[in-house]
Amino acid sequence: MDLRTISESRCFGGVQGTYSHASTSTGTEMRLSVFVPEQGRSRALPAVIFLSGLSCTEENFTVKAGAQRYAAELGLILVAPDTSPRGPGVADDPAYDLGQGAGFYVDATESPWEPHFRMYSYVATELPGLIAGNFPLRAGALGIMGHSMGGHGALVAGLREQATFGSVSALAPIATPSQVPWGIKAFSAYLGPEAQRWRPYDATALVEDGLTRKDPIRVDQGEADKFLGEQLRPEVFAAACERAGQPVTVHRHAGYDHGYFFVATLVGEHLRHHAELLARR
């Protein structure tokens, strides 16, 4: 699959690039950023996909998280896709939490979203193949992480696609979307009103239904996050994991909110988590 180079810059000895391609999943042009550390010149490396949150593009994580320094030290490729299909022919909504910029990493089944909003297939199938075909990815060494809506997407894909993703983590994830306003609104629009159809895209529901991993999942949450009680609810996910025997660590951090300063503070710990698990594959 061909990539069009938008920009490439030297960064911590490696290359930080922004690219686009024609997506078979969404039927649109999709953008992504990729950082390849210097080690990638001579050998294949593990990679980590980062899924961003509501209203974000591939640029937020790339510019704000400061992750390239850690990836260069650890020898990790970093991949950050956009959060939804975009363009004049793509359905949208005036609200920030639905439509373009808010794909919720599901494959929509409802009009007008169904033709293009197939972000689950994009992340779970198309993107891993794109990375393997264009960058020095070590076979079988791919992790997934995300923030907020992206944390939801990472948990779901990590639970459902265990043959593809060898490590999973999330920062302030929407951990039980079927039970919170953001998720109920998005799932109702994209998947229809039947709550049973939402369960494949709810990490807590997946664990409750018996889908678990052997390796630990890492979650970090700021205690000053204004969305914690109403929209995120990581304690519900943690309780489901405990009942199901899913190894999970939920680290709570006093004083931290939902923004990218929180992400930047913890991104190094998350990338070390992935590097350790992916080294075993």
The angle, 0 to 180 degrees and rounded to 10, between the axes of the packed helices 260-278 and 67-74 is 10
192 and 224 in contact (C-beta within 8 Å)?
A: no
| H or E segment and range at residue 5 | strand 4-11
How far apart, in Å, are the Cα atoms of 277 and each of 36, 141, 156, 159, 218?
19, 9, 18, 15, 11
- Between CA 237 and CA 119 the distance in angstroms is 22
131 and 137 in contact (C-beta within 8 Å)?
A: yes
- Between CA 19 and CA 118 the distance in angstroms is 19
Provide the token pair at 53: 């949150």
Which residues are part of the catalytic machinery?
148, 225, 258
- 198 φ/ψ angles, rounded to the nearest 5 degrees: -85, -20
Length reported for the chain: 281
DSSP helix/strand/coil, 144: strand
DSSP helix/strand/coil, 192: coil
- Between CA 31 and CA 80 the distance in angstroms is 9
